[in-house]
Every structure is written in structure tokens, then in C-alpha cells.
């Protein structure tokens, strides 16, 4: 194996490792993001329920 082939192999291993790390990082970020979105939806629904209990109707203004 020549020096050039060794460098190519090392570069390929480094790129593969980097891609694995990025994929793992993205999986954890997606979980955090989905939890953030679901908690926001829960807050919106709680607000709507509270407004409806007070006898008012939520309307969007155009």
C-alpha cells in the first residue's frame, strides 16, 4: 500500500466517522425539536380550552 492509498483510506475513515457523528447528532436534535413542538401544541390547546370555558369564541382576524 502506497502512501497515497494510506492517506485516501484515512480520509475515507474520517469522513465515515464524521457522517456517523452527524447522524447521531441529528437524531437527538429531532427528538428535542419534536418535544418542543408537541409542548407548544399542548399550550395552544390548553389556551383554547380555557377561552372556551369562559364562554368566548376564538376567532382569527383577517
The answer to whether 58 and 51 are in contact (CB under 8 A) is yes
CA–CA distance, 41 with 18 (Å, rounded to integer): 34
Its pTM stands at 0.45
pLDDT by residue, tens only, the chain of 62 residues:
899 999 999 999 999 999 999 888 877 766 666 777 888 888 888 888 888 787 766 566 65
Write out the three cell numbers for 43: 399550550
Amino acid at each position: 500500500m502506497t502512501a497515497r492509498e494510506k492517506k485516501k483510506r484515512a480520509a475515507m475513515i474520517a469522513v465515515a466517522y464524521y457522517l456517523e457523528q452527524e447522524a447521531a447528532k441529528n437524531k437527538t436534535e429531532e427528538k428535542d425539536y419534536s418535544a418542543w413542538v408537541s409542548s407548544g401544541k399542548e399550550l395552544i390547546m390548553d389556551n383554547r380550552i380555557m377561552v372556551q370555558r369562559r364562554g368566548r369564541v376564538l376567532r382569527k382576524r383577517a
